[in-house]
Structure 1
Amino acid sequence: MGDIRVGACSWTDRQLVASGWYPPGRRDAEGRLRHYATRLPVVEVDAGYYALPSRRNSDLWVERTPDSFRFDVKVFSLLTGHPTRPEALPADLRARLGGADLAALRRGRAGDALLDEVWARFADAVEPLRAAGRLGAVLFQFPPWFAPGPAAEDALRECARRTAGRPLAVEFRHPGWWTAAEADATAALLAGLDATAVGVDTVQGAAGSLPPVLPVTRPRLAVVRFHGRSAAWGRGSKEDRFRHDYDVTELAAWVPRLRRAARRTDELHVLFNNCCADAAVRAAETMRGLLATPA
């Protein structure tokens, strides 16, 4: 059975820091990460979506974590076609843009030159993690309007080309990718790109709900992200969408599925994104306990 690593989608979330999960004396940037790495073996760098990560931070993260630790880095919003605030770009890139460029950014679009530069900077930023063996995955979370079809398939091939040599993971927010009619074709497409299909847990029955599938498309890594089961999924504020405390029965129901997936891959990352107060880290620690119990 592959190694099952359970963690959270942030270690710097303000509500987590304020929750008291970090002990006194471990609430500065270095102390938080060192403490987190003693409790959980993997973390998602969710902040990469909101601003380009920096190589300096990656160097520090390597220094502050053990050799066995993993970082799954979420790619910058512009690289998945999400609307992007111009302020999220580095100042030198922003200074090169005209009014039309800034308007395009807000629609999730950019010219080839800007995209090339953003891709290059992202790759440079995560290189220390890759070189140290700490880069678990480069996570592409595509928006709800990224629907199955030739244009989306071309975009996925471009992502695979741009991330060659780095572990690619893909999460869809359009439920059409994993319908009964499309699931096999989606899995085959991602397997052909050597990409990990990201499974999800969300509320069921709401507009935009995703089926709780966990396809294994890459023998080296599988990933599942637990987003909570808020009825506000797909609408409302971030806090509304992800506010959920998983109870032990909800988590235990996933254990057989996780174990089956782990038998088909070298490593399985189980990440909790219900980042309100300490809900995510508590759920992660509970899930670790359940997985440690003999079947």
Structure 2
Amino acid sequence: MIRVGLTGWGDHPDVYSPASKKTDKLKDYGGHFKIVELDSTFYAIQPERNIRKWIGETPDDFGFIVKAYQGMTGHHRGRLPYESEEEMFRLFRLSVGPMLEAGKLPMILAQYPPWFDCTKENVGVLRKMREYLDDLDVAVEFRHQSWYSEKYRKGTLDFLREQRFIHSVCDEPQAGDGSVPFVPEATREDKTLVRLHGRNTAGWKANGRDDKKWREVRYLYDYNDNELKGLAGEISGISSEDVFVVFNNNSGGHAAENAKRFMGIAGIETARPGAQQLDLFGGEDL
């Protein structure tokens, strides 16, 4: 089964009912998509009250792909706000516990930075991640090409299988070492994650450390029908029981519309029974 969603639920006006309040965004979102990528966990480990609120606002079959806290994947700069690495991982696991209990946690997404290359030291970092989150399903996303080089690609995928990591397959611009190729290969029989970042090569090359607006251009992309058809064909061939597809190309507000078109092309149900639906193409209630 292919399950489709977006990164976050707070910035997709196409999926909100005109009569809804600002606090109803997640409820409206859950009427269109079965999964969402929870990005707020990257910036801070979330308090239990937030987690339980989000659980209560979503359908029983809804799933949160929870992004690992930045201190867990090497993005955090400066001193971590925790006494130890062990405490950080322990608090993160406690935070997502209610989602796991509710059956709404299909996976944790551990996205590593562009400078996290394929070295023995970094393989050790991944082993430690697996130890800390041993009882959770974890998807690993690389952003350095070396992991998929001719020399290391097979070893990378075999290692992910050995460690029971879910492979995060990425569609993104091919813009040097800081981008990875599209490799639609499963490392687990039950789950694979696919993240669609768009194909804005110029935006992808923008320097995130120097340009404050780099995020606004990095994911600025509108997939055309031929691209979505190609992706649908590749994704349908991934040998996992469930494939989770997340659109992250929302700098220009294209993600929701692209996801709906993809679902139509792939023959996936685009309306959830019992929920108020909006036609993303005409803006009228269905």
TM-score, normalization by structure 2: 0.86
The one-letter code sitting in structure 2 at the alignment partner of 1:176 is: S
Give the whole-Å Cα distance in 2 for the aligned partners of 1:6 and 1:138: 16
How many percent identity over aligned positions? Answer: 31
2: CA distance, partners of 1:184 / 1:270? 23
Counterpart CA distance in 1 for 2:190 and 2:222 is: 30
Change (3 A) 1:131 1:234: farther
Structure 2 match to 1:100:
none
Q: Where does residue 274 of structure 2 map in the other structure?
A: none
Q: Secondary structure at the match of 2:114?
A: coil
| Alignment correspondent of 1:239 | 216
Distance 1:265 1:5 in 2: 12
SS state of the match for residue 190, structure 2? Answer: coil
Change (3 A) 1:52 1:111: closer
Equivalent in 239, 242, 251 of residue 276 of structure 1? 251
Report the CA distance between 1:114 and its aligned residue: 2.8
Gaps of 5+ in 2: 208-213, 269-286
1:103-118 equivalent positions in 2, closer than 5 A: 104-105=78-79, 110=80, 113-118=83-88
Alignment CA distance shift 1:69-1:20 (3 Å):
closer
Following superposition, the deviation at residue 24 of structure 1 comes to: 2.2
Q: Counterpart of 1:283 in structure 2: which amino acid?
A: N
Structure 2 residue 45 is the aligned partner of structure 1 residue 75: no
How many angstroms apart in 2 are the aligned matches of 1:290 and 1:190? 30
Residues 7-51 of structure 1: CA deviation (Å, up to 9, x unaligned): 1011123xx3xx45412232423x111111110111000121112
Where do residues 56-75 of structure 1 align in structure 2 (5 Å cutoff)?
A: 56-75=49-68
- Tell me, yes or no, if structure 1 residue 154 matches structure 2 residue 147: no
Aligned partner of 1:32 in structure 2 is 25
Residues of 2 paired with 1:222 and 1:53: CA distance? 25
Specify the alignment match of 2:17 in structure 1. 23
Shift of 1:273: 0.7
Residue-by-residue CA offset, 1:61-94 (whole Å, 9 max, x unaligned): 221111111110001111101134xxxxxxxxxx
CA offset at residue 188 of structure 1?
0.7
The aligned length equals 261
Q: Deviations over 1:175-223 (max 9, x none)?
A: 1111222111001111111000101011124552321112200112100
Q: Match for residue 229 of structure 2?
A: 252
State the AA in 1 paired with 2:16: Y
The separation in 2 between residues aligned to 1:176 and 1:52, in whole angstroms, is: 30
Question: Deviation per CA, 1:153-189, whole angstroms, max 9, x where unpaired?
Answer: 1110111111111111000000111122211100111
Q: Structure 1 pair 125/40, CA: closer, same or farther in 2 (3 Å)?
A: same
2:134 to 164, 170, 183: 164
Aligned position for 1:55? 48
Shift, 1:276, TM fit: 2.0
Contact 1:7 1:40 in 2 (8 A): yes
Which is helix-richer, 1 or 2? 1
After superposition, give the CA deviation of every residue in 1:233-290 in whole Å (9 maximum; x if it has no partner).
Answer: 04241011111111111111111211111xx212110101112243111111111111
1:123 aligned residue? 93
Contact 1:10-1:275 at 8 Å conserved across structures: no
For residue 113 of structure 1, give the secondary structure of its aligned residue in structure 2.
coil
Q: Is the 8 A contact 1:207 1:234 kept in 2?
A: no
Distance 1:208 1:79 in 2: 20
Q: Give 2:275's aligned residue.
A: none
CA contact 1:206–1:233 (8 Å) conserved in 2: no
Query: Using the alignment, how far apart are the partners of 2:189 and 2:67 within structure 1?
Result: 21
The partner residue of 1:12 within 7, 10, 13 is 10
TM-score if structure 1 supplies the norm length?
A: 0.84
Give the match's secondary structure for 2:83: helix
- Structure 1 residue ranges without an equivalent (≥5): 85-103
Give the counterpart letter for 1:138 in structure 2.
Answer: I
1:209 aligns with 2:209: no
**CA RMSD of superposed structures (Å):** 1.8
